[in-house]
C-alpha cells in the first residue's frame, strides 16, 4: 500500500527578518484514502466559493482568504494524519545561511525529521501496513525547492526511512524506520491544480500563526505531530 504525503511551507528562510519557518502537510495511507481526502477538501472549498465572494477558479491560498475561511478549510482536515516542523531560525548556526546549498541541506534535514516523527508515531500505534508497504510519494508546491535539490531530498528521505544512516564519523549506524518501503518518489506540483497541496498550505499557515503566538500545543494531537528545531 502506497503512502501519499502533501506538503507546503510558510514563512521565509531568512534569520535576519524572520523568527520561524514552517513545513506542514498531511499523510494519506493508500490511494482510496487520498482520493476521499481530496474530494472532501474540494467540497470545503466549494462551500466557500458558493458565497460568490471570489471569482470562479480562484485559488484559495492561505494568504488570499480570511481567517474564518482558513479555519473552515483547516477543520475539514481534522480526520487526517498531519505533521509540521517549526524551525526557530534565530537559534540556528548563522553559517547555515551563508550559502544556498547549506540552506537547502538544512531544510531537507528539517523536512525529513518532521515527517519521520509522524511516521514513527504511526508505526508505534500500528497504523502503518508494514507487511504491505509500497512507495512513499511526496508532493510539494513547486516553488519550495530548487531543481538541483529535488533529487537530493528524495535520496535523503530514502536513506533515512528505508536504508538507515551513519553519523559524520561513521562510527554509529541509525537503522531505518521503514525498511519495508519499496521506494521514495518526490514530485513538485502547481498548487492550483493539486488539491491536497493547497490543503498543506492551510496546515503550514496555521502552524506558522500558532508558532508566532505561542499556541503550538493547541494543535498537537495523536494525529498531528509537530516538531520544533533545533
Q: pLDDT by residue (tens digit) across 1-43?
A: 999 999 999 999 999 989 999 999 999 999 999 999 999 999 9
Can you tell me the distance from the alpha carbon of 44 to that of 205, in angstroms, rounded to the nearest whole number?
17
Cα 135 to the center of its chain, rounded Å: 17
pLDDT of residue 148: 58
Q: pLDDT by residue (tens digit) across 152-185?
A: 899 999 999 999 887 766 678 889 999 999 999 9
The answer on pLDDT for 50 being more than 90 is: no
From the list 34, 22, 25, the residue with the least C-alpha distance to 135 is 34
The answer on pLDDT for 200 being more than 60 is: yes
Specify the pairing of strand 135-141 against strand 81-88.
unpaired
- Domains detected in the chain: 3-229 (3.30.420.10)
Can you tell me the distance from the alpha carbon of 190 to that of 187, in angstroms, rounded to the nearest whole number?
10
Cα 61 to the center of its chain, rounded Å: 16
Q: pLDDT by residue (tens digit) across 69-111?
A: 999 999 999 999 999 999 999 999 999 999 999 999 999 999 9
Find out whether the peptide bond into 34 is cis, omega within 30 degrees of 0. Answer: no
- Residue 204 and residue 143 in contact, taking contact as beta carbons nearer than 8 Å: no
- Residue 21 and residue 11 in contact, taking contact as beta carbons nearer than 8 Å: yes
pLDDT of residue 58: 82
pLDDT of residue 219: 96
Q: What percent of the chain has pLDDT over 70?
A: 95
Q: Alpha helix (H) ranges present in the chain? A: 31-49, 67-75, 100-124, 147-158, 195-212
Cα radius of gyration rounded to whole Å, the chain = 17
The pTM (predicted TM-score) of the whole model is 0.93
Amino acid at each position: 500500500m502506497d503512502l501519499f504525503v502533501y506538503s507546503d511551507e510558510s514563512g521565509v528562510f531568512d534569520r535576519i527578518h524572520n523568527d520561524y519557518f514552517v513545513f506542514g502537510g498531511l499523510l494519506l495511507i493508500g490511494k482510496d484514502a487520498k482520493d476521499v481526502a481530496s474530494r472532501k477538501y474540494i467540497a470545503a472549498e466549494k462551500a466557500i466559493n458558493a458565497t460568490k465572494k471570489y471569482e470562479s477558479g480562484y485559488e484559495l491560498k492561505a494568504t488570499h482568504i480570511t481567517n474564518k475561511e482558513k479555519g473552515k478549510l483547516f477543520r475539514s482536515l481534522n480526520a487526517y494524519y498531519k505533521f509540521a516542523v517549526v524551525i526557530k531560525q534565530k537559534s540556528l548556526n548563522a553559517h547555515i545561511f551563508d550559502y544556498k546549498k547549506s540552506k537547502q541541506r538544512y531544510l531537507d534535514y528539517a523536512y525529513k525529521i518532521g515527517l519521520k516523527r509522524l511516521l514513527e508515531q504511526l508505526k508505534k500505534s500500528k497504523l502503518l501496513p508494514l507487511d504491505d508497504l509500497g512507495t512513499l510519494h511526496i508532493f510539494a508546491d513547486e516553488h519550495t525547492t530548487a531543481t538541483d535539490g529535488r533529487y537530493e531530498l528524495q535520496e535523503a528521505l530514502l536513506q533515512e526511512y528505508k536504508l538507515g544512516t551513519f553519523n559524520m564519523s561513521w562510527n554509529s549506524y541509525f537503522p531505518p524506520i521503514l525498511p519495508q518501503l519499496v521506494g521514495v518518489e518526490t514530485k513538485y506540483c502547481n498548487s492550483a491544480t493539486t488539491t491536497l497541496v493547497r490543503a498543506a498550505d492551510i496546515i503550514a499557515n496555521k502552524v506558522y500563526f500558532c508558532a508566532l503566538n505561542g499556541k503550538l500545543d493547541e494543535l498537537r494531537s495523536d494525529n498531528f505531530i509537530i516538531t520544533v528545531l533545533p
